[in-house]
Amino acid sequence: MDINTTDLFKKTPTEHEVHDLIKNRWSPRTFSDQPVSQKELQVLFEAGRWAPSSSNLQPWNIVWGIKGSEAYDRIMNVLVEFNQKWAKNAPVLLLGVVNTKTAKGDDNYHAPHDLGSFSANMALQAQSMGIAFHQMAGLDFEKAKKEFKFPDTYHVATAIAVGYYGGELSNVPDFLQEAETGERSRKKQNDFVFNGDYRETGDVKEE
């Protein structure tokens, strides 16, 4: 499916040319009214399913809810207030959850890394379908774990707002509107890539 979001692209000043799926992905806080179906979600989960993971442990778990359902409201309820203000625009909410232990009971230090790979696969598959992702660390992890009955060794790492790119700027509070249209920014490669020893390059300001 072609991406049909021409007037919704953000300026992305890359240092080198990269694939359009990577260049054009961004994290909006407004979404189109177009629903995302369960079938489309299954395609996204399938993309995640084929992500690599340490020892192929696949520590990821997903909770999903479509707007209007109980599951959606339960996910909304574990988000911090700041995220609730705009995540309500999304037709789908997800939680990304990891098992932090291996089957033998050892710590799986790579579990969050592998959930990140899962999420990146999903996000790029979504981008190819014109669907946007906005990941969130702003949620009550412990409340979410209890709410969805995950065992103790599990950690609810992220929530994700999912929906087609689009929607009105007025759907987000005034103080967030500039972020919907501004240029994207990143550290320079020189500030985090070392062909040898680490060298201090300074901190990045939080967004």
Ligand X SMILES: Cc1cc2nc3c(=O)[nH]c(=O)nc-3n(C[C@H](O)[C@H](O)[C@H](O)COP(=O)(O)O)c2cc1C
Which positions touch ligand X (CB under 6 A)?
26-27, 83, 135-138, 158, 184, 207
- Give the per-residue SS3 of the chain: CCCCCHHHCCCCCCCCCCCHHHHCCCCCCCCCCCCCCHHHHHHHHHHHHCCCCHHHCCCEEEEEEECCCHHHHHHHCCECHHHHHHHCCCCEEEEEEEECECCCCCECCCHHHHHHHHHHHHHHHHHHCCEEEEEECCECHHHHHHHCCCCCCEEEEEEEEEEECCCCHHHCCHHHHHHHHCCCCCCCHHHCCCCCCCCCCCCCCCC
What's the closest the beta carbon of residue 39 comes to ligand X, in angstroms?
Answer: 26
Please say which residue, 7 or 106, places its beta carbon nearer to ligand X.
7
What's the closest the beta carbon of residue 177 comes to ligand X, in angstroms?
Answer: 13
What's the closest the beta carbon of residue 19 comes to ligand X, in angstroms?
Answer: 15
Q: Which residue in the shown chain puts its C-beta closest to ligand X?
A: 138
Please say which residue, 13 or 105, places its beta carbon nearer to ligand X.
13
Please say which residue, 197 or 207, places its beta carbon nearer to ligand X.
207
Please say which residue, 9 or 194, places its beta carbon nearer to ligand X.
9
Give the gyration radius of the chain's Cα atoms: 18
Please say which residue, 35 or 112, places its beta carbon nearer to ligand X.
112
What's the closest the beta carbon of residue 105 comes to ligand X, in angstroms?
Answer: 27
What's the closest the beta carbon of residue 16 comes to ligand X, in angstroms?
Answer: 17
